[in-house]
Amino acid sequence: MKTNLDKFFKTDDKLSSDGVEFALDDKTSFMVRHFNEQNPRVKAAMATYYKPHARQIELGTLPQQKGTEINHRIFIEVCLVSWTGVEDGDGQEISYTKENALALFKRLPPLFDALWKHANDFQNYREDLGNS
């Protein structure tokens, strides 16, 4: 059912699925998919990464560091499609892999936070905004 609210809240399925660019500057960017609970990738990744720790989560005994790592892994699995322009201290390109992404997020928590916020903001995936 289409409503007058669609113009405010409807996201573009293709942008949500394929991702939109999160540019840091003219050479460094990340392609990020929308994180939403209707996405089957979200449910599958959460089951995969949370299930082995379900008892600890239930009891509130999961160490914070492990919880953070699980969140990083879910984000990488579901949202992070690729990156360009990420370099090491010597200017050498760092290829996108899940393990490189995990190491980067551990080293730069504010980067993860910025990408996480972007992936959760439905307005970044609205048809009329595209990847702006």
Facing residues of 4 across strands?
Answer: none
Residue 127, pLDDT score: 75
Rounded to two decimals, the pTM is: 0.85
Closest by CA to 101, choosing from 125, 122, 74, 62, is: 74
pLDDT at 125: 93
Q: What share of the chain is helix, strand, coil (3-state, %, to 5)?
A: 55, 15, 35
CA 62 to CA 12: how far, in whole Å?
A: 36
State how far the alpha carbon of 37 is from the alpha carbons of 22, 78, 104, in Å. Answer: 21, 11, 25
- HEC string of 12-63 equals CHHHHHHCEEEECCCCCEEEECCCCCCCHHHHHHHHHHHHHHHHHHHHCCCC
| Cα gap 85→22, rounded to integer Å | 12
Average pLDDT per 10 consecutive residues for the chain, totaling 132 residues:
85 90 97 88 86 87 91 96 96 97 97 97 79 45
